Amino acid sequence: MTFVALGLLVLAALIVPWWALATALGQRRRIRHLEERLARLEREAAGRGAALVAVPAPDAPAPAPPPQPIPFERPAAAAPAPATTPPGAPAPATRAATTATPAGRSIEQVIGGLWLQNVGAVLLLLGVFFLILWGYTSGRFGPGVLVVAGVALGLALGWRGDRLTKSVPAFGHALIGVGLGVVYLAFYLGHFTLHALDLRAAFALLALVSLGTVATGLFYRSQTVAALGVLGAFAPQLLATWLPMQGFSLAPLQMLAYLAAVNAAVFALAAREAWGTLDLATLLLTTSTWLLSYHDLRWGWGVQAGLCALYAGLGLAALPRLAAEPGRVRAVHVAVVTLAPLAFLAAAWPFIVYVTPAAGGALLAAMALAWLLAAVWVEPRRADEQLWRPLIGAAVVFLTAALQRAVGTESTPMVWCVEGFALVWIGLRWRGWLRACGYGVAFLGALRVFVMLATDTGWSNDLMPVLYPGGIRNLAALAALVATAVVIGRRRAALSVTERTVARLWTAGVNLLVLVWSAVEASHLAHALHGTGGRWARPPSITGLPAAQEMRMLAPVVTSAAWVAQAIVLLALGWRQDEAFLRWLGLGLFGFTVVKFVFFDLQNVDVFWRFLIAIVVGAALLAVSYLYQRRVRLGGGSTPRPDR
C-alpha cells in the first residue's frame, strides 16, 4: 500500500506542475492578446477624434466646436448620433445592435444552463463515488487500480474543463470542480474503504488536493470550481449517514482532522476572495456532517477546542477582506456570520450539556469574547454597521447561552432579564442595535418567567409567599423588566416612532406579567394562611368555614386589591410624566378589575368580602374620577402632548 501511495505522489508531482504551467502559459497568451487588442482600439478611437477636430465645417467661417469624445464602448441599446465624416476618410465600422434577451428566455437560460449544470455535476460526483464502491465490492478491480483510475479520471476532467473555459467558461469551471471532487473521492475511499493508503498518506494527499482546490479556484476566479471540489470531500460522510455503507465510521478526532483539512481550502478562499456562497455551503455541510455522525457525546476537551477553532474560522475567516472592501456587505456574508454561532451550538451542545455548568458557561463565554473582539476590530474599519451588527448579535447569543449554563435553569429567567436591561441601558447611550439585542434577550427572560408562574413550581405551603427562593428570583426578574420599561420611557423622546411603539408594547407586556405574578402570589398567601400545612394556618374550627372555602375567598380578594394598587400606580405615573399611555393602562386595569369583581368575585366570596371589595373598588374609582375632574378644572392634563 505504501508503494501505491508513493506512486500516486510521484504521479501528482509529475502531472500537476506541467498542467499548471501549461494552463498559466495559455492564460498569459490570452491576456497579452487582449492587451494588444485594447491598445489598438484606443489608438483607432484617438485617431478618429483627432481627425474630427482638425476638419472644420464646410459653410462656417470659423471652425466648428469639437464634437463630444466618442466613448470607448457604446451601449448596444443606444443609437449612434450622426456625425460628419471628413471627405476621403473611411467610414467608421458599425456593429449590429443586439436585442435584449426576453425575461422568459433568460429564466430558461438560468434553468437549462446553470441549474442543470450544477445538478448534473453533483450527480456525476455521486456516480463516480458509487462506481468506485461497485468496482471494489464486486472484486472486478483491485484497490490500487481503482485509486489510480479515480485520480486519472479527475485529472482528465480537469484538463477537459480547462480546454472548455475558452469557449464555455461556466461549463468548463464546473468540469474542473468535478475533477477535483473526483480526485478527493479517490483518495478518501483509498484509505477508508479500499484500504490502499495508510492514514498518513491519505491525509497528506487530501491536504494536497485541498491546496490544489484553493490554487485552482483562485487561478480561474471561479467559486464553482472550489464549491464542487469541496462538495466531493463531504459527499462520502453525508451519504454514509442514510445509506447502508460500511467503512465510513470515523472517530471524533479523525473526523475533526478530516473537516479541518477540507475547510483549510475554504478558509484560504474566504480570506482571499470572500466567496460567501462557498462559506455558507461549507458551514452547513460541516454542521450536517458532524450532527449526523455523532448523535451523542463521544469526544473530550481536545476535540471540543478544535471544534471551537473550526467554527471560529468558518464564521470569521472572511472578515479581513470584507472589512477592507467598501460598499454594501452581501446578505450571504451576513448569514455566515449570523449562522456560525448557531451551528456551533448545535454541534457542540452534547458536550456543553455533559460537562459541568461552570465549564460549559466558560466555554461559551470564550466564544462570546472571540466574536466581541471581532466586532471591536471591525467597528473602526467600516463606517456602517453591516458587519458590526451580526458580530455583536452572535456575541450576545453566546453570552446568553453561557449565562444559562452557568446559573442553571431556575435562575435563567432572572439573569436573562438583567442581561436585557443592561444591553438596553448601554444601547440608549451608544448604539440602537444593542437595544434591539436587549429587547430580544429580555423578552426570552419574560417568557421564561411567565412559564414558571403558569406552572407555579418551586413553592409549597410551608414556605413564605413572595420571599421563597423562586419568588425572589421572579421578583428580581420583574424588577429588571420594570427597570427596562422605565429607562426606555425616560428617553422616549429621542427614539424613533417605531421604537416608541415597541416601548409601549413592552410596558403593556410587563404590566400584564405583573398581573399574573400578583394572582399567583395571592394564591400562595391564601394557601399559607388556610392551606393544610400552611405556614400561618390556624387549627381548624368547628364553627368556622372550611379551610378550602376560605382559600377560595381570600385569593381573589388579595388579587383584586393588588390589581387596584397597580392601576393607581399607573395613573400616578401617567399624571406625573404626562404620559397618556400609562393613564390608559391604569384605566383599563380598573375596568378589568371591575369585570373580575362582577363576574368572578361575587360568586366565590361570602357577604363580608363582597361588600368590602365593592366599597374598596368603588371608593378607588370615585377618587380617580375626582382627581380627573379636578385636573380638568385646574387646566392640567386637558391637552395631551403631541409626542405622546
- The C-alpha cell at 258 is 478530516
Nearest by Cα to 160 from 172, 151, 178, 149: 172
Cα–Cα distance, 433 to 436 (Å, whole number): 5
| Band of residue 200 on the pLDDT scale cut at 50, 70, 90 | confident
Task: Look up residue 201 and give its amino acid.
Answer: A
Q: With pLDDT > 70 as the criterion, what percentage of the chain qualifies?
A: 72
Q: With pLDDT > 90 as the criterion, what percentage of the chain qualifies?
A: 18
pLDDT tens-digit readout, 414-445: 999 999 999 999 988 888 889 999 999 999 99
Residue 642 in this model has a pLDDT that exceeds 60: no
pLDDT tens-digit readout, 527-573: 777 666 665 666 555 444 455 566 667 777 788 888 888 888 888 88
Decide: residue 281, CB within 10 A, 0-12 exposed, 13-18 middle, 19+ buried.
buried
Nearest by Cα to 553 from 589, 520, 588, 602: 602
| Residue 260 · residue 302 · CB < 8 Å | no
pLDDT tens-digit readout, 54-71: 444 444 444 555 544 444
Cβ neighbours of 559 (radius 10 Å)? 23
| Residue 225 · residue 217 · CB < 8 Å | yes
Cα–Cα distance, 290 to 295 (Å, whole number): 9
State mean pLDDT over 245-249: 59
Q: What is the pLDDT of residue 423?
A: 94
| Residue 553 · residue 606 · CB < 8 Å | yes
Q: Which of 91-100, 195-204, 340-349, 489-498 has the lowest mean pLDDT?
A: 91-100
Residue 409 in this model has a pLDDT that exceeds 60: yes
Greater pLDDT, 250 or 260: 260
| Residue 233 · residue 203 · CB < 8 Å | no
Residue with cell 471524533: 252
Q: What is the pLDDT of residue 76?
A: 41
Decide: residue 617, CB within 10 A, 0-12 exposed, 13-18 middle, 19+ buried.
buried
Residue with cell 439573569: 415
Residue 360 in this model has a pLDDT that exceeds 70: yes
Residue 400 in this model has a pLDDT that exceeds 90: yes
Q: Which of 151-160, 171-180, 246-255, 422-431 has the lowest mean pLDDT?
A: 246-255
| Band of residue 628 on the pLDDT scale cut at 50, 70, 90 | low
Cα–Cα distance, 534 to 224 (Å, whole number): 72
Q: What is the pLDDT of residue 333?
A: 86
Domain spans of the chain? Answer: 1-52+114-249, 253-394
Q: What is the pLDDT of residue 604?
A: 63
Q: What is the pLDDT of residue 95?
A: 37
Nearest by Cα to 399 from 447, 439, 366, 357: 366
DSSP string, 101-161: PPHHHHHHHIIIIIIHHHHHHHHHHHHHHHHHHHHHHTTSS-HHHHHHHHHHHHHHHHHHH
Residue 481 in this model has a pLDDT that exceeds 90: yes
Q: What is the pLDDT of residue 376?
A: 92
Residue 279 in this model has a pLDDT that exceeds 70: yes
pLDDT tens-digit readout, 291-350: 888 877 788 899 999 999 999 988 888 888 888 887 788 888 889 888 999 999 999 999
Greater pLDDT, 251 or 82: 251
What's the chain's average pLDDT? 76
Cα–Cα distance, 613 to 559 (Å, whole number): 11
Residue 635 in this model has a pLDDT that exceeds 80: no
pLDDT tens-digit readout, 203-212: 778 767 776 7
Nearest by Cα to 544 from 559, 527, 558, 530: 530
pTM for the complete prediction?
0.66
